[in-house]
Structure 1
């Protein structure tokens, strides 16, 4: 039987989220982080969020049978903490196609840093738009969508009713767009009004041959368990102030 429901989870707050927000608020050009993106761990708050997420997953009805997890440390930690006491899963796959968007030369730069060090990329971003702008050495949203299309084709063949994905904000947003068949304009309009919160759950359900968005960025489990709700947008990329 094909998948009937997908739970899309963003990892809990990471030390990278905290460092990026602090750098932006301080007006710094560079985010103070000494590990590569793939190795960034959860913050203490992120650990609490992941543990609170466990209640939400155990109470899911129906519960997920299979999980796909980004190989990045913050996603792996979130999954491990959130599923330590269940639900029982028939399969768990670490899938590199679910990794965070790669920013190339803009990695670890704030908005101020991009403007100061790569003003040409600011101009290219303004011309191409968020969806198609690919920083040198990095990926555009369109590039990430391509690898996620490949992931969805494989996931569709999984013998399970409900699947769980633990990944990153851009991955969650783009999976929603792909399953709902949004074009560039619809995606950007939705993304301008909505943020994928840390340790949130986004639920999509199949209705016939189509998918429907049942819930987006739900954090009621965090509020119920007394965990902090954190608003850390993904990398600032080269968004205008």
Structure 2
């Protein structure tokens, strides 16, 4: 990470899958009604508006504070967010599959109630192992995702010395990028995850200090979605454990 000057990450805007998951959870359903595969879920209209707000935030940055490179998850909702946010901005963009969302395997499209009802043994195993190490059959643990993020961040540091790199990805990726960049312990990460909803189109960023370590500049900042995109950053605190 010592090669970068600044690293930022934007969670994608609200997707139609987010809407369906929220409706299923509040309706007490076992399954989430999404027709597309996860990689093909698009933004909702609200998500498109949120992405445009990120673009306005970028437009208000001083030229030397703007990203010099952008890396995007291959999933459609992230690519659409980046496309809308970067409209009119001349910055190199590439897609990297290491930024894809965590793969849920057999838990895909199940609500919390659905996991307990349809896969009770997995529910017990998940509680015993904890989110950090639990790997659903056919899916990934958080540790699995961390491994690919370490690889990506090493490459970014090598490829962009003193660069300012902005990522567009997913809620779990935001938390796990923080874990890697700040060198957190498992319990520190879990405390953060239990108390924080990574908001759609929130911005998190880190700046390299004089000692080469990275310190948070903003975490889960949603001020740009409100009135003043350059006011002091705030974080949205809540609890959520649903799909990205």
Q: TM-score, normalised by structure 2?
A: 0.91
* Counterpart residue number, 1:165: 167
CA contact (8 A) 2:101 2:173 kept: yes
Matches within 5 A, 1:200-219: 200-207=202-209, 208-219=211-222
User: Is the counterpart of residue 144 in structure 1 residue 145 in structure 2?
Assistant: yes
CA offsets per residue over residues 19-44 of structure 1, 9 Å max, x none? 00000000000000000000000001
Please, which runs of 5 or more residues in structure 2 have no aligned partner?
Answer: 230-235
User: Deviation at 1:2?
Assistant: 2.2
Q: TM-score, normalised by structure 1?
A: 0.92
Counterpart-to-counterpart distance in 1, 2:61 and 2:178: 19
CA contact (8 A) 2:196 2:239 kept: no
User: Is the counterpart of residue 79 in structure 1 residue 82 in structure 2?
Assistant: yes
State the number of aligned residues: 232
User: Deviation at 1:233?
Assistant: 4.0
Counterpart-to-counterpart distance in 2, 1:70 and 1:234: 20
CA contact (8 A) 1:47 1:81 kept: yes
* Counterpart residue number, 1:2: 3
Counterpart-to-counterpart distance in 2, 1:233 and 1:224: 25
Counterpart-to-counterpart distance in 2, 1:124 and 1:141: 15
User: Deviation at 1:225?
Assistant: 7.4
Q: 1:153 and 1:80, CA in 2 relative to 1: closer, same or farther beyond 3 A?
A: same
* Counterpart residue number, 1:132: 133
Counterpart-to-counterpart distance in 2, 1:206 and 1:177: 15
* Counterpart residue number, 1:68: 71
Partner-residue secondary structure (3-state), 1:224? coil
